[in-house]
Structure 1
Amino acid sequence: MGLAAADVLVMLEYVPFAVYEYIVLPERRLFPYGWAVFVLFHMHFSQLLHTISIGLTLTLAVWRYIVVRFPQCSRIWCTSIRCRVALVSSLLTAVLACAPSYFVFEIREQMLFENNGQELLYHVDASKSLSSNDANGQVFLYRLNFWLLGVLVKLLPCIVLTVISCRLIQALYNRAKARRRLLRPIDGQELPNVGGTERRADRTTRMLVAVLLLFLITEIPQGVLGLLSALLGDCFFRSCYHSLGEIMDILALFNGSVNFILYCSMSRQFRMTFGRLFKPSIRVSKWQPACTHQTDVQSTQKKFIRCERKNLLQK
């Protein structure tokens, strides 16, 4: 829920910014102080919420791994209290990671002589003190900002999520193999097909791979550009990073919007919940797993296996 809320707020807040940037500004070419304040707010707000979304995505991946790898301990480790702690930790970590940018960027004034008059323009840019000779502290904040955003917020989560996803896929296949060995025929007696577990593991694996690829495609370009901005300085930021800002915005919005489609298309529980919320008059039985009979069969199989093994042990 926290992840969905963060993505929704990022996309909703982008709507007025897009209206100003692509509709109002090209027509009127006005740069008032109020819109400059809004652009500065948009920059910090979207970055903060997107960082929170990244932290929650990593937390969700860790919890998936705990549930799959340590199912006996998952109810003890993944409690509601720890869920709230994870939410608060993601929020505080995002605030600290984005803190340097609050001091690096500011609203700047520019006097323009046009039509025999003067126009005062306001725009968001890096602090003027970055270009001065005695701005060592400000330059440090500038580089620290891009190191944090490029490495800690972007590249490091990509590495961690890749490792966790690979371990999750391995754990899922190991569980499927273990269940297949448990349900193998005894004394040549044939058992019905029990491939449902493997199919569920395959579906979960595909969903994890899709989430991982989407996250990597979205975050790696931003992380690389942020790292290069920290290494190469303000010149690279103005010539390359700033020019590619719209592409990075599109990637961030794409990530937030596709998550819903991805989960609903690959998870029956999401589809059933969506149907109950927004289609209360339509029965969602076709989305429910037709596994009542299947469950009875599997329960009978397990009882049969336990009895057979008990008889073998007694013999």
Structure 2
Amino acid sequence: MESTSQSLSIMASVGGSGNTSSSTTREPFFEIDHGLNMYAHWYWNVHGYLSLVICTFGIITNVLNIYILTRPTMRTPINCVLTAIAMADVVTMSSYIPFSIHFYLLCGLETTPERYSYLWTTFLAIHGNLTTTSHAISIWLAVFMAIMRYVYLQTKKCPDIRTTCVIVSLIPFAVGAVMMPNYMMTTVIELPVQSRNRTANSTGVIYTLPVPVLGSEDPSILALVAFWLYSIMCKLVPCVLISLFIGLLLKKLHESAVIQKRLYKASNKTKKKNRHKSTTMMLLVIIVMYILTELPQVVVILMSANYKYFFLNVYMLLADTLDMAALVNNAINFVLYCSMSQQFRDHLYQVFAVFACKPAVPQPARKFSNNATYDTVNNHSHLEQLVPATTSEHV
């Protein structure tokens, strides 16, 4: 998202990608790697179509996620966080579709007035800020979810739905405050361009965005503040926290497995432990996907900050690939829910049954050890059963 926007901005400013100077200087990454350059150009021709498919699938499935996770029987604190993540992902992918259609499918790589018109450059500025913000919100929601699950495993307590909704609502405001320097430095710049094929509609003027701090020889103070604030608060810190809580959750799972093996036999308590273990495993998979997506971006940002030519000659060539990894992460949660949550699958079947005008098969009431039955999840059970999988006996 933000990586591709930065790349297009620099390409418009310099009329190409990367450093092609013939200087004899031999600093690290001074020259563009031929293989990486060939890969970047090959993937550019694929990225537009692939991103369009991924975004379309992701929007549809995330809307389904929102609908199912907000059903009365699915309203739990964790599901509140998962719903907010789905909303952020819908915003990201909805903005990416027109971006992909114009800059990848309708226009080539050439720096032309048609590609970088005032209207589309303004859209590029809005798209860059919007997707950067929504993606950062999604990351911090994942951090909050990891913390919630670890606290629950440690104390058997978690915030109620109202408290969770308040915290979830505050996260976008906090991210917006961090992103404020980026918003302040966003402007559309007019540049003259020499058009090879001059037509009546080609004015010889293109519009671009300010060159990002890593691609600038003399960045302003505001640009430096924006870059480091975003890199630290929206990339580095969330990755560190997610990694930390992944380790803590895995440690807790191991301890629980040892205790369960030592103290419990086949009983209702064992089933309950298994449900909580399956719940934690599902959340771990979701959180690990964030690490797999964000860690490479953290690495290339740090490399770009330490090596002068890395951003222009390496990062820009990998921008589309990094964006695709983020888009896949935005779209994959539906697949994870379907594969790891029996109750989610039950509700999904009911949704399809309604649209197919077929009566949904009623779910049998489940029994607890005290012979009580239930058909819906009450507010008290929400304190223990935090995700769709945990409200049924099958995960």
Instruction: Settle same-fold status: TM greater than 0.5.
Output: yes
> Mapping of 1:57-68 within 5 angstroms?
57-68=142-153
> Mapping of 1:6-85 within 5 angstroms?
6-26=88-108, 29=112, 30=114, 31-71=116-156, 73-74=157-158, 78-85=159-166
Which of residues 298, 323, 341 in structure 2 aligns to 1:249? 323
* Cα deviation, residue 220, structure 1: 0.7
Cross-structure match for 1:204: 279
Contact kept? 1:65, 1:168, Cα under 8 Å: yes
> Mapping of 1:135-146 within 5 angstroms?
138=220, 140-146=221-227
CA distance in 1, matches of 2:317, 2:347: 41
Cross-structure match for 1:187: none
Q: Which moved more, 1:157-166 or 1:235-244?
A: 235-244
CA distance in 1, matches of 2:229, 2:344: 34
Q: Which amino acid aligns with 1:164?
A: F
TM-score scaled by length of structure 1: 0.75
Which of residues 218, 224, 247 in structure 1 aligns to 2:299? 224
> Mapping of 1:282-301 within 5 angstroms?
283=360, 292=367, 295-296=368-369
Residue segments in structure 1 that go unaligned for 5+ positions in a row: 185-190, 300-315
Which of residues 90, 96, 99 in structure 1 aligns to 2:177? 96
* Cα deviation, residue 163, structure 1: 1.9
CA distance in 2, matches of 1:124, 1:251: 24
Instruction: Kindly indicate which of the two structures has a greater share of residues assigned to helix.
Output: 1
Contact kept? 1:147, 1:227, Cα under 8 Å: no
State the secondary structure of the residue aligned to 2:360.
coil
Q: Which amino acid aligns with 1:59?
A: F
Find out whether 1:279 has 2:353 as its counterpart: yes
Contact kept? 2:147, 2:245, Cα under 8 Å: yes
State the secondary structure of the residue aligned to 2:206.
strand
Contact kept? 1:165, 1:208, Cα under 8 Å: no
Find out whether 1:147 has 2:224 as its counterpart: no
Give the 3 Å change call, closer, same or farther, for CA 197–170 of structure 1 in structure 2: farther
Cross-structure match for 1:307: none
Q: Which moved more, 1:9-18 or 1:96-105?
A: 96-105
RMSD across aligned positions (CA): 3.3
* Cα deviation, residue 98, structure 1: 1.8
Deviations 1:190-245 (A, max 9, x none): x7797534543553343244223311110011122223334446x54333333322
Contact kept? 2:293, 2:329, Cα under 8 Å: yes
CA distance in 2, matches of 1:131, 1:242: 14
* Cα deviation, residue 37, structure 1: 0.2
* Cα deviation, residue 152, structure 1: 2.2
Give the 3 Å change call, closer, same or farther, for CA 192–238 of structure 1 in structure 2: closer
CA distance in 1, matches of 2:180, 2:153: 36
* Cα deviation, residue 181, structure 1: 5.3
Contact kept? 2:212, 2:223, Cα under 8 Å: no
State the secondary structure of the residue aligned to 1:106.
coil
Contact kept? 1:110, 1:122, Cα under 8 Å: yes
Cross-structure match for 1:3: 85
Identity of aligned residues (%): 28
Contact kept? 1:151, 1:223, Cα under 8 Å: no
State the secondary structure of the residue aligned to 1:113.
coil
Residue segments in structure 2 that go unaligned for 5+ positions in a row: 1-82, 373-395
Cross-structure match for 1:106: 187
CA distance in 2, matches of 1:180, 1:250: 42
Contact kept? 2:91, 2:134, Cα under 8 Å: yes
Q: Which amino acid aligns with 1:212?
A: I
Contact kept? 2:88, 2:138, Cα under 8 Å: yes
Give the 3 Å change call, closer, same or farther, for CA 132–239 of structure 1 in structure 2: closer
Give the 3 Å change call, closer, same or farther, for CA 62–209 of structure 1 in structure 2: closer
State the secondary structure of the residue aligned to 1:126.
coil
* Cα deviation, residue 297, structure 1: 9.0
CA distance in 2, matches of 1:229, 1:132: 13
State the secondary structure of the residue aligned to 1:263.
helix
Contact kept? 1:229, 1:236, Cα under 8 Å: yes
- Bigger-Rg structure (1/2): 1
CA distance in 1, matches of 2:212, 2:267: 71
Q: Which amino acid aligns with 2:89?
A: D
Deviations 1:140-172 (A, max 9, x none): 333333323333212221221122223223334
Give the 3 Å change call, closer, same or farther, for CA 192–132 of structure 1 in structure 2: closer
